Structure 1
Amino acid sequence: MDATLADVVEVLDGLYDPAWAESWDAVGLVTGDPGQPVRRILFAVDPMRVVVDEAIGGGFDLLVTHHPLLLRGVNSVAATTPKGRVIHDLIRGGVALQVCHTNADNANPGVSDALAAALGLKDTRPLKALPSEPMDKVVVYVPVAETQAMIDALAAAGAGRIGEYDRAAWRSTGEGTFRPLEGADPAIGEVGTVERVVEDRVEMVLPRHRRRAVVEALKAAHSYEEPAFDIFELAALAGNRGGGRIGVLAEALPLKRFAELVGERLPRTEHGVRVSGDPDRLIEAVAVVGGAGDSEFERVRAAGVDAYVTADLRHHPATEARAYDEGPALVDVAHWASEWPWLKDAERLVTDALATRGFTVETQVSTICTDAWTLHL
């Protein structure tokens, strides 16, 4: 069954939620009709002229790139500029363009996960962890005979999901007491009479965005006219998403050999691999950031790693980072090369997700090197 562009975008947004993008970024659909069929998808780092020609000439319906085509606001897409011509050609060729940039950087798995995996890093964790999803806890008091029905109702509304478990709840039993006043319509007891009921206290966690739905489900499932419940906002903890990754090698390697391994595992570029540090220094703990990473030096140094692999290192930040005796060795690679491994991950994840929905697509990863530097003398 053929997928529509809307189907594929839904999958991409599930893997790389646009809400995870940095505020300055421009991600999402650039060209394309959500109703158009998508049979062939091309994945690439950059929406450059040569890649767009590859997509059009190869009969691809969708081009998914990491870097945006229109990062900054424009007032015109006339074909008088290179980007304007690209837009016109994409539309004429029936090729949609979807961008997954910093939302893919912050995903798990995301761009830096792919880089870490390419270098053989294990036990990875985010370098710049984002807060986990805001969570609440609902506490409700319910007659013991209604406890399981209440748990079912709250779970159906989105409460009680913890990792790979659902319907997770805590209950404890006690005695509730109340006296219905004039005008009340009690499910248990009589107006003016003190009532005592054996009740369970039920506790379940829930994503904060499900709060309204859970409260509505609680009230609908409860037999009491005025059910007693509390909502607690839980403390925000570091999550498993965010920029960069920290991991360890299976065995420590001298810096020179580790840098050679980086060159072997990443696609070749004229930029090559630049190294700063003692060639004999043993490297075991490594931080990686796909793309430009010299803004993360403080976090990398605080993490106490032996080496830092990233791209676009500038002279002054690099020399300042190396001024610390305990600082990490630096391994600088081409921007394009550091992000290219993500394409294979995205291809696999999108194909698998579409297959579970009954859609079959042909996919391909572009191997055209779009690094800016074309000659190294």
Structure 2
Amino acid sequence: MLLKDIIKIFENKYPKNLAYDWDNIGLIIGDSQRDIRKILVALEATEEVVDEAIEKDVDLVITHHPFLFKGLKRVTKDTPKGNCIYKLIKNDIAVYSSHTNFDIAYDGLNDEICSMLELENIKILDKTKADKMYKIVVYVPLSHEDKVREALGLSGAGHIGNYSNCTFNTKGIGTFMPLENTNPYIGSKGNLEKVQEVRIETICSENILSNVISKMIDAHPYEEVAYDIYELRNEGMKYGLGRIGDSKENMTLGVFAQYVKEKLDISDLRIVGSPNKEIKKVAVVSGSGSSMIHNAYSMKADVLITGDVKYHEAQEALELGICLIDAGHFGSEKIFVDIASRYLEANLKNVEIIRSDIYINPFVTI
């Protein structure tokens, strides 16, 4: 399967446009036209992971952390990063990274943690983006209205909340005159035609607009399709960093922290706040999310689960009266490997998916 097709499938679920501007995601190293037979999924491409990829003869490594983040001035074998790049290119191994877009996307890291903790009534903690919406209006002869309407629905147009295939239809008279060099479906050259038509109106998001138009035109019988596109002020699907939801059962912070350890399968964590405080509303930000303390506080969270909490951030949380569970950067993101692998296994054919065996947490608790 071509790498460009794998990327398209992956980005259908975890779109690049959800990432923060400062992030470096997508295809970092490799040829998009390369045929891919084996994929190694890892949290990040350390030298040990690169060696694993070479040993297992993979064609592509997919990581969460961007393989290249800061600018490089030279690539030489005598530096760790340069040596990794040298090995990857020499062995024709591509690298693709999906970072903040994977955190923000639905069914990404934060949603997975909420699912593992069995949280309910999940909402976005910090909205970062909303789909831009468009109205599509097309004029169709009565003979093809069902076919065109079906094509619009199947291509994803007409989604409003939990409803699909939403359209509005108005019948009227369409007029046109075929000129020279035309091959009209209805009518003859030089004669004004009057045709019973239906005006079909629907909406779709910007990310599927071009595909919807293409499918609509394919289903339409006319040589020249008359249609209008209007940009709307309505917001579509909303996206954001972090999640907030309700615990199924009330627990104290001490008990809930142990529950988090078990569910995330981590050996240690840190807490901020009284172990006896009752926990009901839970905020989650995978990786380094202590900057979201105020977001969690404003949404009345009892606790924020994240990683990389610093001393002064912990003091600030105490002053606000919100508890923290620091599960570690690695501890809150290692599940990327399973999430990404499951999605690839379900959506790719004739491609072997391998989960990395390398344990990359740089911290050792003694």
TM-score (norm 2): 0.82
Equivalent position of 1:194 in the other structure: none
Q: How does 1:71-82 map to 2 (within 5 A)?
A: 71-82=69-80
The alpha carbon displacement at 1:107 in A equals: 1.4
Q: Give the percent of matched residue pairs that are identical in Structure 1 and Structure 2.
A: 31
Residue 367 of structure 1: how far off its partner (Å)? 4.9
Contact residue 118 and residue 341 of structure 1 kept, 8 A: no
1:40 CA drift (Å): 2.9
- How has the CA–CA distance of structure 1 residues 255 and 134 changed in structure 2, closer, same or farther, with 3 Å as cutoff? same
Does the residue aligned with 1:120 lie in a helix, a strand or coil? coil
Distance apart, 1:45 and its partner CA: 1.3
Describe the shift of the 1:12–1:101 C-alpha distance in structure 2 as closer, same or farther (beyond 3 A). Answer: same
Change (3 A) 1:40 1:293: same
In the other structure, the counterpart of 2:343 is: 349
- The amino acid that maps onto 1:366 is D
How far did residue 155 of structure 1 move? Answer: 5.3
- Cα distance in 2, alignment partners of residues 150 and 230 from structure 1: 15
* Equivalence map 1:164-243=2 (5 Å): 167-172=165-170, 186-188=192-194, 201-208=199-206, 210=209, 214=213, 231-237=229-235, 239-243=237-241
Q: What's 2:111 paired with? A: 113
Corresponding residue of 1:18: 16
* 2:292 counterpart residue number: 296
1:316-355 aligned at under 5 Å gives the runs 316-325=312-321, 328-354=322-348
Deviation at residue 34 of structure 1 after TM alignment? 3.4
CA distance in 1, matches of 2:235, 2:294: 21
Alignment CA distance shift 1:145-1:56 (3 Å): closer
TM superposition shift of 1:23: 0.8
What secondary structure, in the 3-state scheme, does the structure 1 residue paired with 2:255 have?
A: helix
* Structure 1 alignment gaps of length 5 or more: 189-196
Q: Distance in 1 between matches of 2:364 and 2:333?
A: 18
5 Å matches for 1:1-377?
A: 3-139=1-137, 147-148=145-146, 151=149, 159-161=157-159, 167-172=165-170, 186-188=192-194, 201-208=199-206, 210=209, 214=213, 231-237=229-235, 239-268=237-266, 272-325=268-321, 328-354=322-348, 358-368=349-359, 370-376=360-366
Q: Secondary structure in 1 aligned to 2:240?
A: strand
Q: Distance in 2 between matches of 1:259 and 1:285?
A: 14
C-alpha contact (below 8 Å) 1:38/1:361 kept by paired residues: no
Matching residue's letter, 2:336: W
What is the Cα deviation at residue 299 of structure 1?
1.4
Distance 1:275 1:253 in 2: 14
Partner SS, residue 249 of structure 1? strand
Contact 1:43 1:366 in 2 (8 A): no
How far off is 1:279 after superposition?
Answer: 1.1
- Pick the structure with greater CA Rg: 1
CA RMSD for the aligned pairs? Answer: 3.5
Task: Label 1:236 to 1:359 Cα distance change in 2 as closer, same or farther (>3 A).
Answer: farther
Instruction: State how far apart, in whole Å, the 2-side matches of 1:226 and 1:63 are.
Output: 44
User: Contact 2:151–2:215 at 8 Å: present in 1 too?
Assistant: no
Provide the secondary structure at the position in 2 that maps to 1:237.
strand
Q: Which runs of 5+ in 2 are unaligned?
A: 178-189
Asked if the contact 2:136–2:204 (Cα under 8 Å) also holds between the matched residues in 1, the reply is yes
**Cα distance, 1:200 vs structure 2:** 5.0
1:320 partner amino acid: E
